[in-house]
Amino acid sequence: MRVAGLAILFLTLALPARSGTIYENGPINGEVDAWVINNGNFVSDTFTVSGGSSTVTGLSFGAWLYPGDTLTSAEVSITSGIDGGTVYFDETVAFSASGCAPNQYGFNVCTETGSVNGLTLPNGTYWLNLQNASVPDGDLVGWDENAGIGCHSPGCPSQGWDSNEGPIPSESFSILGSASSTIPEPGSIVLFGSGILVGMAGILRRKLP
């Protein structure tokens, strides 16, 4: 479902600046929508390696969580196609939250950061896939949609894909690591939406049964 009746609330929350950022798709938005990455759903976004052979050490992304929930892990894969093709990486990654702030739809919006080891990628375009996100009580977890607004990396904004909806606007994330040249990730003032409160599950676009 789409969100209606938005006003604007200004808060400062962005993906953290890192000296070793291989690719960034812009800061967390928090006001538009989020796409479910658990309960059998996956979301995929492209990213481009352009600074020479790059060692991936981690990633950060924007997550929408129900109050009191903590994201413990998610399945992360990097592939040549949408959740398929050549698989370069596919593991369950532990995440830690920072910069959490509530939005006006009743969710906490957090930067989630996890580590990746032993992955080197040459120049090219890849798909980052997130699924099987785990919270202790099994609530829905959403990947923040930002449409790549404010991104600075070659190849941005990403293409986005939802397992139920098909093509979607892309999400907020950074691929961390080292390369021949790395891309600084700017801090940003991020907009969060306010407006008419609707059912929280309805704000996440995956319709519940």
Strand ranges (DSSP E) for 122-172?
124-134, 142-144, 160-162, 166-168
Half-sphere exposure of 133 (CA within 13 A, CB side): 27
What is the pLDDT of the chain when averaged over all its residues?
84
Alpha carbon distance 40, 33 (integer Å): 19
DSSP character for 170? Answer: -
pLDDT in tens, 22-77: 999 999 999 999 999 999 999 999 999 999 999 999 999 999 999 999 999 999 99
* Contact status, residue 160 vs residue 148, Cβ threshold 8 Å: no
Return the pLDDT at 118. Answer: 80
Which helix (H) or strand (E) segment holds residue 43: the answer is strand 42-49
pLDDT-derived band at 179, boundaries 50, 70, 90: confident
Return the pLDDT at 209. Answer: 36
Q: In this prediction, what percent of the chain has a pLDDT beyond 70?
A: 77
DSSP β-bridge partners for residue 101:
109
pLDDT in tens, 75-123: 999 999 999 999 999 999 999 999 999 999 999 999 999 999 989 999 9
Average pLDDT of the residues in 119-130: 97
Return the pLDDT at 205. Answer: 57
Average pLDDT of the residues in 179-200: 43
Return the pLDDT at 12. Answer: 34
Domain boundaries, the chain: 6-203
Q: Which residues, including other chains, have CB under 8 Å from residue 40's CB and lie 6 or more apart?
A: 163
Q: Evaluate if residue 185 carries a pLDDT over 60.
A: no
